[in-house]
C-alpha cells in the first residue's frame, strides 16, 4: 500500500475513541518489525524518525527504507518527522516525501512557537500534509534537547495556539517524559480533560515508554489519538542483540542478532497496538478490525 498521511488515521481514531501507535525506528530491522506487527494486528501505524536519527543516515535513506517495506503492506502506513527541530528540517522532510510533519517549538516562548508552527503549517497544507505542534514541554531528553522537569500545557494557551497556528494535531505535556523514568510518572489526566474541552483537534501523547498501559488507556478515553513510543523500542532491540551475543560471543553475522532484536521489537509493538486500539471506548479490549 502506498504511504498515507496521518490525518485520516487520527481523525478516524478520534471518532472511534482509540489511538494510533506511533513508533520511532532506527534501522531496517525496526522498520520491518513495526510494519509486520501492524500487519498482524490489522491496524494503521505511524513510523517516526527524530532529527538525530535523520542526522545519522539521512532523510532519503529512511524514506526509501520505510517506503520499500510499506509498499508491500496491506494496512495504512504513515512516515512522520518526530520533533522537527527547525523550519528547514521540516521542509526537507516534506520535499523528501514524509507524509506527516512535527515542528517542535515548545522550547521557545509562546509567540515564537506560534510563528514557527504556523510557518510550517502554511508550507505543508498546500501539499495536504498534516502538521503536529507541541505546547508545554515534555520532560527528559529528546535527541540533543533537554526538557528538564518539563512544563505542563496550559489549556487556555492550547486553545490560542491551535487557533493561531492551524495545526492538525497537538502534542501535550501532562507529566510524561522522554527517556527512562526514574520513578512512577505523575500523569495529569485532569489537565488533559481541560485541554480536550478547549480544542477539537486530535491530541498526542509523547514520552509514553514506561507509562502504565492502564494510564495510557485512560488518556485515550480523554482525547489522546496518537501515542508515541521510542525508548522502549530501543531497549527491546538492544536486549535482543545482547541475548545473542551473550549466548555466543563468537557470533559475527549481524543478521543473527538483528533477527532477535527485530522479534522483540515486533512483540512490543503488537502489545502497544493492542493498548491503543479499542472498542466502545475501552482501548485494548477488542479484536482489531481491518483498517478502512
- The secondary structure of 166-197 as a DSSP string is --SEEEE-SS-EES--SS-----HHHHHHHHH
In the residue annotation, 82 being an active-site residue is answered as yes
3-state secondary structure of 198: helix
Burial of 35 (0-12, 13-18, 19+ CB in 10 A): buried
φ, ψ of residue 235 in degrees (nearest 5): -65, -45
Burial of 158 (0-12, 13-18, 19+ CB in 10 A): buried
Q: State the Cα–Cα distance between residues 168 and 158, nearest whole angstrom.
A: 13
φ, ψ of residue 172 in degrees (nearest 5): -110, 150
Do residues 147 and 139 lie in contact, with contact meaning Cβ atoms separated by under 8 Å? yes
Element (H, E) at 103: strand 100-103
What's 212's DSSP letter? -
Classify residue 58 as left (phi > 0), alpha (psi -120 to 50) or beta. left
Q: State the Cα–Cα distance between residues 204 and 220, nearest whole angstrom.
A: 9
Residue recorded with cell 512483540: 267
φ, ψ of residue 246 in degrees (nearest 5): -70, -35
3-state secondary structure of 199: coil
Question: Of these residues, 12, 82, 104, 214, which one is catalytic?
Answer: 82
* Residues ≥6 apart with Cβ < 8 Å to 11: 202
Do residues 232 and 275 lie in contact, with contact meaning Cβ atoms separated by under 8 Å? no
- Positions annotated as catalytic residues are 82
Amino acid at each position: 500500500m502506498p504511504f498515507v498521511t496521518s490525518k485520516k488515521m487520527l481523525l478516524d481514531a478520534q471518532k472511534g475513541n482509540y489511538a494510533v501507535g506511533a513508533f520511532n525506528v532506527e534501522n531496517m530491522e525496526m522498520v520491518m518489525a513495526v510494519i509486520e506487527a501492524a500487519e498482524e494486528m490489522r491496524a494503521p501505524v505511524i513510523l517516526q524518525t527524530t532529527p538525530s536519527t535523520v542526522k545519522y543516515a539521512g532523510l532519503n535513506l529512511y524514506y526509501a527504507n520505510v517506503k520499500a517495506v510499506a509498499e508491500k503492506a496491506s494496512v495504512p502506513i504513515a512516515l512522520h518527522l518526530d520533533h522537527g527541530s527547525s523550519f528547514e528540517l521540516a521542509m526537507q522532510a516534506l520535499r523528501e516525501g514524509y507524509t506527516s510533519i512535527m515542528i517542535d517549538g515548545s522550547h521557545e516562548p509562546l509567540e515564537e512557537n506560534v510563528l514557527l508552527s504556523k510557518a510550517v503549517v502554511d508550507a505543508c497544507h498546500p501539499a495536504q500534509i498534516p502538521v503536529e505542534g507541541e505546547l508545554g514541554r515534555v520532560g527528559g531528553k529528546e535527541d540533543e534537547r533537554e526538557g528538564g522537569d518539563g512544563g505542563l500545557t496550559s489549556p487556555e494557551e492550547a486553545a490560542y495556539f491551535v487557533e493561531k497556528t492551524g495545526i492538525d494535531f497537538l502534542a501535550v505535556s501532562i507529566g510524561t517524559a522522554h527517556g527512562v523514568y526514574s520513578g512512577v510518572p505523575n500523569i495529569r489526566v485532569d489537565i488533559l480533560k481541560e485541554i480536550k474541552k478547549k480544542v477539537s483537534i486530535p491530541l498526542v501523547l509523547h514520552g509514553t515508554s514506561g507509562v502504565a498501559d492502564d494510564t495510557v488507556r485512560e488518556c485515550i478515553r480523554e482525547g489522546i489519538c496518537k501515542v508515541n513510543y521510542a525508548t522502549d523500542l530501543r531497549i527491546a532491540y538492544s536486549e535482543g542483540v545482547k541475548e545473542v551475543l551473550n549466548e555466543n560471543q563468537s557470533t559475527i553475522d549481524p543478521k543473527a542478532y538483528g533477527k532477535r532484536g527485530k522479534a522483540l521489537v515486533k512483540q512490543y509493538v503488537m502489545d502497544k497496538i493492542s493498548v491503543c486500539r479499542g472498542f466502545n471506548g475501552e482501548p485494548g479490549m477488542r479484536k482489531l478490525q481491518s483498517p478502512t
